[in-house]
């Protein structure tokens, strides 16, 4: 039986948004994780909390903080359309232009961080706007991002969102459409197990649709809620079995992101680490 390795797992740092970044990295290292899925939001690091001239210095500083703890960045997941004013498909030209400038900067940061991937987002249209025009703008922007990614040697992964977040990419078919339209090896699929569960899909169907999966988001839920493994009712073992059977070698991010854990993220991550070590589809390397 194939098993996933503990070293394939990481945690998204969004969970630690009420704690300083050094606390977050200490906690992840102490809990035996190798990967950080780095959340780009205030006040850890983002385009809005760092003066433009300070950006490179700050990015190098973060890189060193990870290196010093033996951590590696799997993905740079900048906060974009869900909370922040970054929307590469916006019908407002000012917003769209600024968003593209920020995303290009984030692609450069991804390289400097030594991360495997930048977490691309397709943008969204207002729900009372013309959807076809939004899709056109999204594809055009994603193509520009893929071109720039290729130029500087950075790869991107992208996932589907929830229907209340995005009206142009909310299941595997709409994700497939965008990735195919861009048609670049620099933009591939990430499976979000929570969004899949919410859409009534299984990760297996994502393999069938995309062939290649380069990154996975895993969390428990009811089916949504981005909970710590064990706190919800999603069939996480079934999901892990799918990836183990396919001999998946990529990174898996525990995307625990629910306000109920924000006051003590370390406790949630300790429980998550224990859950992984006791999981039949995960091989502990100690």
Q: Does 20 bind other proteins (CB under 8 A)?
A: yes
Question: For residue 187, what are the β-bridge partners?
Answer: 156
Whose Cβ is closer to other proteins: residue 217's or residue 241's?
217
- What CA–CA distance (Å, rounded) separates 231 from 111? 35
Q: Which stretch binds other proteins (CB under 8 A): 48-56, 140-148, 242-250, 269-277?
A: 48-56
Whose Cβ is closer to other proteins: residue 128's or residue 286's?
128
Q: Which stretch binds other proteins (CB under 8 A): 7-15, 87-95, 108-116, 145-153?
A: 87-95
φ/ψ (deg, to 5) at 27: -65, -45
**Pattern of binders to other proteins over 183-222, x per CB under 8 A?**
----------------------------------------
Kind of pairing, strands 9-12 and 35-40? Answer: parallel
Whose Cβ is closer to other proteins: residue 79's or residue 192's?
79
Which uninterrupted H or E stretch holds 267?
helix 265-277
Kindly state the number of chain residues that form the binding site for other proteins, as judged by CB under 8 A.
38
- What CA–CA distance (Å, rounded) separates 24 from 39? 11
Handedness of CA 123, 129, 131, 136 (dihedral sign): negative
Cis peptide before 235 (omega within 30 of 0): no
- Work out which of 2, 30, 43, 185 binds other proteins, going by CB under 8 A: 43
- Dig out the tokens for 283 from the structure: 């091989």
Instruction: Check: CB of residue 63 under 8 Å from CB of residue 20.
Output: no
Q: Does 48 bind other proteins (CB under 8 A)?
A: yes
Interface positions with other proteins (CB under 8 A): 18-20, 23, 41-43, 46, 48-51, 54, 79, 83-85, 87, 90, 92, 94-95, 98, 124, 126-129, 162-165, 167, 224, 259-260, 262-263
């Amino acid at each position: 039986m194939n098993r996933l390795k503990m070293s394939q797992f990481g945690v998204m740092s969004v969970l630690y948004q009420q704690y300083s970044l050094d606390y977050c990295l200490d906690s992840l290292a102490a809990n035996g994780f190798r990967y950080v899925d780095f959340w780009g939001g205030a006040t850890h690091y983002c385009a809005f909390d760092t003066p433009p001239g300070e950006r490179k210095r700050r990015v190098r500083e973060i890189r060193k903080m990870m290196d010093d703890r033996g951590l590696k960045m799997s993905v740079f997941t900048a906060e974009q359309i869900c909370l922040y004013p970054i929307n590469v498909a916006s019908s407002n030209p000012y917003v769209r232009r600024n968003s593209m400038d920020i995303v290009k900067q984030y692609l450069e940061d991804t390289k400097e961080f030594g991360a495997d991937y930048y977490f691309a987002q397709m943008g969204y249209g207002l729900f009372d706007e013309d959807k076809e025009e939004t899709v056109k703008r999204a594809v055009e922007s994603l193509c520009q991002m893929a071109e720039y990614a290729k130029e500087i040697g950075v790869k991107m992964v992208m996932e589907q969102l929830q229907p209340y977040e995005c009206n142009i990419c909310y299941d595997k078919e709409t994700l497939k459409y965008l990735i195919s339209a861009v048609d670049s090896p620099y933009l591939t699929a990430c499976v979000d197990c929570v969004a899949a569960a919410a859409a009534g899909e299984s990760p297996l169907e994502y393999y069938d649709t995309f062939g290649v999966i380069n990154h996975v988001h895993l969390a428990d839920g009811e089916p949504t809620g981005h909970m710590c493994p064990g706190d919800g009712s999603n069939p996480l073992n079934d999901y892990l079995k799918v990836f183990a059977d396919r001999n998946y070698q990529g990174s898996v991010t525990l995307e625990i992101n629910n306000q109920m854990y924000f006051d003590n993220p370390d406790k949630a991550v300790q429980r998550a680490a224990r859950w992984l070590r006791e999981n039949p589809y995960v091989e502990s390397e100690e």
